[in-house]
Amino acid sequence: MSVDGNWKVTVQTPMGPQDSTIAFKSEGNTLTGTQFAPNGGSADIQDGQVNGNQVSWNARITKPFPLTIEFNGTVDGDTMSGKVKFGMMGSGSFSGTKV
């Protein structure tokens, strides 16, 4: 099972669901990629890790305010799901589908 490829990801946030697309590439245990927002913005993911079917990465956003979001999830074929931490703003969940 590979996380490599493009994923449509929906994050359940305190401000409602937020969609993005992420292009992942793994090499060994290192996960890299770029997250694309619907408004055309993009950012490289940081601190990405793969361990079997477990994945984790950080995404830094600037809108509506600067924040680092921490993702921890599980890949199951062409789907993934997991938990998200919004720093001091609490936590939520995410789900994704390979596209």
Q: Which CATH code for domain 5-98?
A: 2.40.128.120
pLDDT, tens digit, for every residue of 32-54? 999 998 877 888 999 999 999 99
Beta bridge partners of 92: 84
Q: Which pLDDT score, from 0 to 100, does residue 42 have?
A: 86
Q: What's the pLDDT score for residue 47?
A: 97
Largest Cα–Cα separation, the chain: 35
Residues of the chain with pLDDT under 50: none
Domain boundaries defined on the chain: 5-98
CA–CA separation, 64 and 73 (whole Å): 24
